[in-house]
A and B are shown apart, each in its own frame.
Chain A
Amino acid sequence: KAGVTQTPRYLIKTRGQQVTLSCSPISGHRSVSWYQQTPGQGLQFLFEYFSETQRNKGNFPGRFSGRQFSNSRSEMNVSTLELGDSALYLCASSLNYGTSGSYEQYFGPGTRLTVT
Chain B
Amino acid sequence: KNEVEQSPQNLTAQEGEFITINCSYSVGISALHWLQQHPGGGIVSLFMLSSGKKKHGRLIATINIQEKHSSLHITASHPRDSAVYICAAPRDTGNQFYFGTGTSLTVIP
List residues of chain A with CB under 8 Å of any chain B CB. 31, 33, 37, 42-45, 48, 50, 55-56, 58, 88, 90, 92, 94, 97-110, 112
17 further A-B pairs in the complex, CB-CB below 8 A; given A44-B99, A99-B94, A109-B40? A31-B95, A37-B41, A43-B86, A43-B88, A43-B99, A50-B94, A58-B96, A88-B41, A99-B92, A99-B93, A100-B29, A100-B90, A101-B48, A104-B48, A105-B33, A107-B35, A110-B42
Residues A109 and B41 in contact, CB atoms below 8 Å apart: yes
Closest to B30 in A: A100
**A-B CB contact pairs (8 Å), 24 listed:** A31-B94, A43-B88, A43-B97, A48-B95, A50-B94, A56-B94, A97-B94, A98-B94, A100-B30, A100-B31, A100-B90, A100-B93, A101-B89, A101-B94, A102-B30, A102-B31, A103-B95, A104-B33, A105-B45, A106-B45, A107-B42, A109-B40, A110-B43, A112-B41
Distance A103 CA – B90 CA, assembled complex (angstroms)? 10
Closest to B40 in A: A109
Distance A56 CA – B24 CA, assembled complex (angstroms)? 25
B96 to chain A, nearest CB (A): 4
Residues A42 and B29 in contact, CB atoms below 8 Å apart: no
Residues A101 and B42 in contact, CB atoms below 8 Å apart: no
Distance A103 CA – B45 CA, assembled complex (angstroms)? 11
Distance A110 CA – B41 CA, assembled complex (angstroms)? 7
B42 to chain A, nearest CB (A): 5
Evaluate whether A33 and B41 lie within 8 angstroms (CB atoms) in the complex, with A101-B90, A102-B31, A105-B33 already known: no
Closest to A89 in B: B41
Residues A101 and B43 in contact, CB atoms below 8 Å apart: no
Residues A101 and B31 in contact, CB atoms below 8 Å apart: yes
Number of A-B contacts (CB under 8 A): 85
Could you give, for residues 60-89 of chain B, a 1 whenever the CB lies within 8 Å of some chain A CB and a 0 otherwise? 000000000000000000000000001011
Distance A15 CA – B46 CA, assembled complex (angstroms)? 37
Which residue among B40, B41, B95 has the maximum number of chain A CB atoms within 10 Å of its CB? Answer: B95
